[in-house]
A and B are shown apart, each in its own frame.
Chain A
């Protein structure tokens, strides 16, 4: 055996020599490839940089006022992606800057964006939730917009209430609008008529009474609302505002607990759920399911953003055409809550690139170069969304975008009269928002009393505000 091996040794040795060479070659080859590939990438990057540089000044080196003709980076969530692309193409056409769009799915957008910004990704403009906007400025991920050309004009052009979403009580301007909407009740007029009601409910107790009758008449879950954990806070504030309760003072301190009517709101909420006037599954039902319930006629009332009427009508269910909007939220003063998300200016860009990014924000959140509310008109056409500008409501193209089942005059008045609740953009507010979901759902399930829930919520708000 050994002899056999030894006899074969020189030959194997020869093979191994060959192998040695090939190993070395392989390693050398791999090293060479390892060096060459990034270098090629670098060269390619240099090439593309040159291409861009040929048409303008690099953002990093140019001072403010120097034109930047390179690409801008924008990040958005995946709502109407084709329309986003069309809007950005329109921007490129007017201003000459290409915009590289990154889309992130709606679910998980916040964490994904946060992670990217924390990791140092350079984004010139990005969608954000209004409640995160101040936090992102404080973190250094978004720029304050004060003193940028046209920003004050933009705020002056807005409805007075809407400006509070973008300009903080301390004077800092943190964002521009992406879209706006207003909470309104949608109801099935035919079902109400059949139940003997001449008009939709105007107070919380009237909703209860009507729903009780509708339930007895066979409507499975008369009242639909988006009462999930994440969304409970928005309803909480909406119902408070409609009752004329001031939820927070100007400094952002909670005041809802001092108003006796708050207890009435939560009592009503609890009764609606516990007495079976909502779907039992309402704590986890998403808007799609409520839209289907309205279109099918298994719910009579649905309170959410005004644009959901379009979805109910487009669903073409047997009851879709019976559903109409009431332009007043049931409650003592009937005011609604205005909502809207925002676009923020990334903190990384400097000089000409930052100027170009600001132009993009103005284009996206206000007017285009021709002075038209082009982006907002496109959102109206796509999804019946609003913008916070009175002038927009006069735009003929914008008006045409709304189907005739919307009374645009009434919608404008409801929007104008609606409140923003400035505390909702303070840096600690998203933490409070999460707690509201926990506490309200526990209350609805009978695990906490209304009184305890109110006092716990007030404590939560104070604690989060104190912690910053």
Chain B
């Protein structure tokens, strides 16, 4: 209940307590305050209206349009014909789509694990006191400042089979005995495309985790330490529960980015070699812009959106389940 409404109700209660029926001035004041509260709400709505219109125009309407297109056969000249669920039927009979769907799941899970894990590791490291921490924290933002496509291009050179720094480093460390063309093998291309995208996303996750870590009262881990808790116990029983709300946010964002990833993969491999990294977003791009099959492309977009939404919600549900996320904070 808004504070104004509380005040109005309190005023009403005061009047009721002093006489069986509210006096006229008291009733008038309460009504006045109620009107003001309503006016405030209306005012808030008016202020939010432009943003609401923009959101509806830029997100809701295209989403609805995509849903409509997915049920139609759309000619490039704009002619449309309703085909019901035919596009979805064809889609699920298409082995390339099934391959892409499976690949997307693998990619998204790997991306989620690596980017969340790396992000948490970076944040834990940067939460400690050491010389150069400020510089390290500043550098953390650099990957996040790179557009996705630039991250892809950087990693293409980094993983290059002839002159890549990755090969150089592994060779010098004795891990490999000759340079490898990582992007020319199915598994190598998939791993590099996960790492490239996770490298960028991990810095964003780390920023969120770091913000969460800095809200942990010093007394908690210190007291636990005095009580004999090991570092792992402190992390498991204090840090992780405290970070639960942040973890939920990071996971949901990472699930979405994992499922929707396009730029990095396209810059690295264009979905290749063969169709080894042809995730749903690349498949969708081909349907829309190469095969110019708007209906089918929209159906892929709907499937992709629904899958990302369901998995995101699943994580929210799982993490909110026992004990509630806010428990950690309180």
Contacts and interface: CB of A to CB of B under 8 A. Distances in A.
Nearest to A13: B32
Interface string A405-447: 0000000000000000000000000110110011101101101
Contacts of B274: 438-439, 441-442, 445, 447
B269 A284 contact: yes
Contacts of A279: 161-162, 181
A140 B291 contact: no
A9 interface: yes
Contacts of B285: 111
A2 interface: yes
B162 A281 contact: yes
A111 B289 contact: yes
Interface of B: 7, 10-11, 14, 29, 36, 39, 43, 46, 75-78, 149, 156, 160-162, 179-181, 183-186, 189, 268-275, 278, 285-286, 288-292
A462 interface: no
Contact of B291 (A141, A289, A431, A438): A431
A141 B76 contact: yes
A20 interface: yes
A139 interface: yes
Closest 6 CB pairs of A and B: A281-B161, A139-B76, A280-B181, A442-B274, A111-B289, A281-B181
Nearest to B186: A445
Given A20-B39, A118-B76, A284 B183 contact: yes
30 contacts: A2-B14, A5-B7, A23-B39, A107-B149, A111-B285, A114-B289, A114-B292, A135-B76, A138-B76, A139-B77, A140-B78, A220-B162, A229-B269, A281-B160, A281-B162, A281-B183, A282-B184, A283-B183, A283-B184, A283-B272, A283-B273, A284-B183, A431-B290, A437-B270, A438-B278, A439-B274, A441-B274, A442-B273, A445-B186, A445-B274
Interface residues of A, number: 44
A244 interface: no
A228 interface: yes
Nearest to A2: B14
A206 interface: no
Interface of A: 2, 5-6, 9, 16, 20, 23, 27, 107, 110-111, 114, 118, 135, 138-141, 220-221, 228-230, 279-284, 289, 293, 298, 430-431, 433-434, 437-439, 441-442, 444-445, 447
B227 to A, nearest CB: 44
A284 B156 contact: yes
B162 A16 contact: no
A229 B162 contact: no
B38 to A, nearest CB: 13
